[in-house]
Amino acid sequence: MSDVHELVLFQLGARVFAARAADVRRIAGPLVEHEDEAVGETALGRPWDPRRGLVVKASGNERTLLVDGVLGLKAVPESDFQPLPRFVSDVLPTGALAGFAMLDEVPTLVVDLPTLVREGEPGAAGPREETRHA
Amino acid sequence: MPDRNGSTRARARTPRSRDGDAAAIAAVLRAHAEGDYARRVDAKALRDPALRDLAREVNRAAEKADERGSEIAARMEAVRVGLDEAIDAMVRLVVEGDLSGTLRLAVSDATLTPLIAGVGQVMETLKRFVKEIREAALQLSSSSAEVLAAATQNENSTSQQATAVHETTATMEELKGASHQIAENAQMVASIAEQTLSATRQGEGAIRAFMESMEKVRRNAVEVDEAIVKLSRRVERIGTVVEVIDEIADRSDLLALNAALEGAKAGEAGRGFSIVAAEMRRLAENVMESTREIKNLIGEIRESTHAAKEASDGNKRMAAEGERLGGAAMASVTGILTGAQGTSDAARLIHLATQQQRSATEQVVQSMGEIEEVTRQAQAGSRQATGASAELARLAERLAAMVQRFKVE
């Protein structure tokens, strides 16, 4: 891991999340939820107005996480990354949260997009079986 | 020798001469001429026989004259007594008023016969006069009583008439005041009616102007409506254009995001690319922000256009309603104008009539004043007539009483 990480900031519902730019293959335009590769409902919730999609590769396929918007990209130093406290990761219903980063002094959750997309697939093992740390 | 009256008669006894005899006879004749018939000539004493005879004739004439004088004296006495009785009878008649008897004198002398006859005729005449005067006095008394009664009644009637005239005059004075008041009120009514007519005409003009304004408002509302429709269509076109712009901006944003993503993945090599992508994205966001503002503005314009359309429709409805109400008001005002014109004409006629009435009432009041004055004078005259009638009745009674004193039967 280099000293600076590029993060994609996106909005899902009322909250803002971050994801590694390397996990995003591209950003898609407005999609409809019934398309095969689209992922709407996840452990983070459902978008209100899915105007963007984050295309990721999971399980050898491209999947598109539907989000309300992509706010941009931001380079964040390594020092601003923090892992989740143990008791927090124990109580969370998903293993897709890699930690949080201080963005403009606001703690923002960093999401492991491939894990999140896999948790949403039919027959997935469940959010807690595979946890990936940043 | 003494005479019949006892007087002493002088006689010439001494014989005288003829001249003396004549002188003696002359002296006796002078005495006779002076009324002394007692003187005699002494014939025996006369020498001359002729003179003696003359003397005797003188003496016989003197005797005759003396006898005649006595007779005349007696008759004169009888006449004097008769005159005294007649005068007494006349005095008694006048004093006692007794005309019932006839004049009878104790002395009967043919000389008094005309006097007695005259006095009797006078008494008869007086009786007749007294009878006539008595009857006239009775009639006068009765008539004066009737006149007094009539005068009293006339005085009462005149007093009642004067009272009635006075009351009528007072009533006419009140009527005069009322007529003045009515005339003033009628003038005021006429003035108000004229003002009402003028105001109604102004109102008619105002309603006509209002209706013209309503017509303009309606036409303007139609024009505004058409302008709103045009504006709405153009806004819709703007909205379509903005949608296209927004779509383009969104795609630009998406491209910029992907470019930035690729730049980020490229690391240090893609930093410049990322900067350009970020600038592109900023521009795209600016465009989208502008299109959002335009959309908001379009939305506001739509809302405003919709409100303007509703307001315009309301204006058209209000204008139509205003025209309808204006027409109704114009019809009403036309009726009011006709009524006001009639009222004004009637008020003017009433004003003229009340002025004539006031003038006539004033003339009546003046006439009543004159009648009252005449009635007052008539009342005073009636009072004087009553007093005069009363005085006449008293005088008639006095006359009757005075005439009653005369006894004629």
Determine whether B6 is exposed, middle or buried from the number of CB atoms within 10 Å of its CB (0-12, 13-18, 19+). exposed
List of chain B residues whose C-beta atoms are within 8 Å of the C-beta of residue A26: 258, 261
Q: B168: buried, middle or exposed (CB in 10 Å: 19+, 13-18, 0-12)?
A: middle
The structure tokens 């009644």 sit at B153
Q: Is the CB of residue A67 less than 8 Å from the CB of residue A84?
A: no
Strand order through the sheet with A15-20: A69-77, A4-12, A15-20, A106-111, A97-103, A81-82
List the single residue in A51, A73, A75 with the smallest CB-CB distance to B261: A73
Residue ranges with strand state E in B5-132? none
Record the tokens describing residue B409, joined without a space.
Answer: 């039967």
Which residue ranges make up each domain of chain B? Answer: 1-93, 142-404
CATH number of B142-404: 1.10.287
Average pLDDT, 10 consecutive residues per value, chain B (409 residues): 45 64 88 87 86 89 88 86 82 77 73 80 83 86 88 88 88 88 88 89 89 86 86 89 90 90 88 87 89 88 85 83 87 88 88 88 89 89 88 87 80
Q: Does pTM top 0.80 for this prediction?
A: no
Partner-chain contact A72 B260, CB within 8 Å: yes
Burial class, B49, CB count within 10 angstroms (exposed 0-12 / middle 13-18 / buried 19+): exposed
| Contact check, Cβ <8 Å, B260/A22 | no
Q: Which distant-in-sequence residues (6+ apart) come within 8 Å of A65 by Cβ?
A: A39, A42, A53, A54, A56, A113, A116, A117
DSSP one-letter code for B268:
G
Contact of A26 with chain B, judged by CB distance below 8 Å, is answered with yes
Strands (E), B172-279: none
- Are B261 and A29 an interchain contact pair (Cβ–Cβ within 8 Å)? no
Residues of chain B with Cβ-Cβ distance to A24 below 8 Å are: 261
Say whether residue A88 is in contact with chain B using an 8 A CB cutoff: no
- Angle, vertex CA A9, rays to CA A8 and CA A14, nearest 5: 150
pLDDT of residue A126: 53
pLDDT at A59 over 60: yes
